[in-house]
Structure 1
């Protein structure tokens, strides 16, 4: 159960706003001073401690104590302090982003998600998945061209919309209730379930021809639990299609944007260990950052 954060103190919040404005203006040391003044007023405010960590990090100082204080005040880690600790080398990289952090992020993001992602970041993950699936699983392979589909991390339903004409049944899971409510408005899904993907799949009653994971792997470092949870929910010979961001090394690593990067070799190893054959892997970018496409790949795996 996620506990509510304390009600913010208006005086502390005014000082926090000044600090954040200074930070945005390129004055991190002055920002840290303003934020420390806010902490003196409201020492239990999680967001203020996190902001102090950001300011100290930008100033080249020791931000670890501020991030640890954030975690002590909010062990569920809605701010993602554990991620920052890992990125500054003060803690190991977590195997996935904290659930509360992802849920909070997307609950806040849901009303403007599509405008931001599609218009500003040129997101095309669902289109990449559709193109890849149509290559390896054309409509001629099924009697009526339709598939039973499960959309993991369904968000507002962008991937569901991309596969609307191929669905016999379409279900979705997402950690954010705010996103689920947006997806419901599309009236495409037969079932929508809020929850963490791996836990939800453990008791999932349906079986599918195709499971989609558009922009899901970027929030998970160790993909083995996800792949292992997906495999029993697929029918024999079913497909698992996903997008990810890539890096030139081996395995997985945590990137500076709070997103995980995975090598194609890592994908192949995890697939083999969890009962999948790699049908296709294509280098492709799914979104941009500051106008620059982010290296990535789209893959289709088949249940052995």
Structure 2
């Protein structure tokens, strides 16, 4: 659960019972946890964190309908989408997947562990999207006999600045955007960005002048977006002729995009190629590569470099 979610009901007794329910769930007693949570919710029916915990407990207890009902109540109690109710309902087959994860959900997710983000990704998850993208960009430039250097770069979903570190010193100025204010603060410590902005990436691109960058980069951020039409169109608009759009995604088998059980989106090779052509891109490379691990296994992915015509 997003750490920014309100885990207090405002009632000390109910908060204590909520802690008991969490302890029971931690011990694997999911039915017992669910019973405690239902008693709590009878007195605090608008407490989103409790509905989330009940949904998790019911699902882990094997009560699929009960989990769906709890997440439906969560959707009503949490209209911002901070706890991802619509994503959970889609994952459980109880609704269509939204075209993107809610901004509040993504912001809360990354605000929660901004301080330990780098160690978690590069250690536990063996995260290597920045390195893979840097290698792919270098290869694309060599193939086209271009200098591996970019005057102006836009880093979408910049996070703590791992992409800037990997690509340095091959750019003159880099502008980063991220939904998480705490991630932006971490990126600021790198001193590699000309500017940093808190915001949604498509809206940020829409505010940039046309032909204002030679490279747009998106390292593992598109996994929180399903439909990518607007992203591709705006990336093409802000790039100069011959500019590059580099990104990594999780690879799916469907014709378009699909929400995975990991609450991230998967995109097919055919979908990305089709969007690229529509937006005026030439595919330089679209290669299979895993950018991270999940439960010790490589997550199938794609690393793409597209060139603006």
Shorter-chain TM range is over 0.9
Among residues 42, 54, 62, which one is paired with 2:44 in the alignment?
A: 42
Q: Which residue of 1 aligns with 2:61?
A: 59
Q: Supply the distance in 1 between the matched residues of 2:294 and 2:230 (Cα, whole angstroms).
A: 28
Q: Supply the distance in 2 between the matched residues of 1:48 and 1:32 (Cα, whole angstroms).
A: 10
Q: Which residue of 2 aligns with 1:239?
A: 244
Which segments of 5 or more consecutive residues in structure 1 lack a partner in the other structure? none
Is residue 95 from structure 1 mapped to residue 70 from structure 2 by the alignment? no
Task: Indicate how the Cα distance of structure 1 residues 222 and 14 shifts in structure 2: closer, same or farther if over 3 A, else same.
Answer: same
How far apart are 1:25 and its partner, in Å? 2.7
Which segments of 5 or more consecutive residues in structure 2 lack a partner in the other structure? none
Q: Which residue of 2 aligns with 1:136?
A: 140
Is residue 188 from structure 1 mapped to residue 192 from structure 2 by the alignment? yes
Task: Indicate how the Cα distance of structure 1 residues 144 and 224 shifts in structure 2: closer, same or farther if over 3 A, else same.
Answer: closer
How far apart are 1:57 and its partner, in Å? 1.5
Q: Secondary structure at the match of 1:137?
A: helix
How far apart are 1:255 and its partner, in Å? 0.5
Length-normalised TM-score, structure 1: 0.94
**Deviation digits for residues 80-108 of structure 1, max 9, x if unmatched?**
01100111111100001011110111111
136-145 or 121-130, which deviates more: 136-145
RMSD: 2.2
Q: Supply the distance in 1 between the matched residues of 2:270 and 2:108 (Cα, whole angstroms).
A: 32
Length-normalised TM-score, structure 2: 0.92
**Deviation digits for residues 122-169 of structure 1, max 9, x if unmatched?**
100000000000001249956794431110000000001111110111
Task: Indicate how the Cα distance of structure 1 residues 245 and 140 shifts in structure 2: closer, same or farther if over 3 A, else same.
Answer: closer
Task: Indicate how the Cα distance of structure 1 residues 59 and 5 shifts in structure 2: closer, same or farther if over 3 A, else same.
Answer: closer
How far apart are 1:242 and its partner, in Å? 0.3
How far apart are 1:44 and its partner, in Å? 2.2
Among residues 7, 15, 18, which one is paired with 1:16 in the alignment?
A: 18
Q: Supply the distance in 1 between the matched residues of 2:236 and 2:89 (Cα, whole angstroms).
A: 33
Q: Which residue of 1 aligns with 2:111?
A: 107
172-181 or 26-35, which deviates more: 26-35
Residues matched between the structures, number: 303
Q: Which residue of 2 aligns with 1:289?
A: 294
Q: Supply the distance in 1 between the matched residues of 2:261 and 2:6 (Cα, whole angstroms).
A: 28
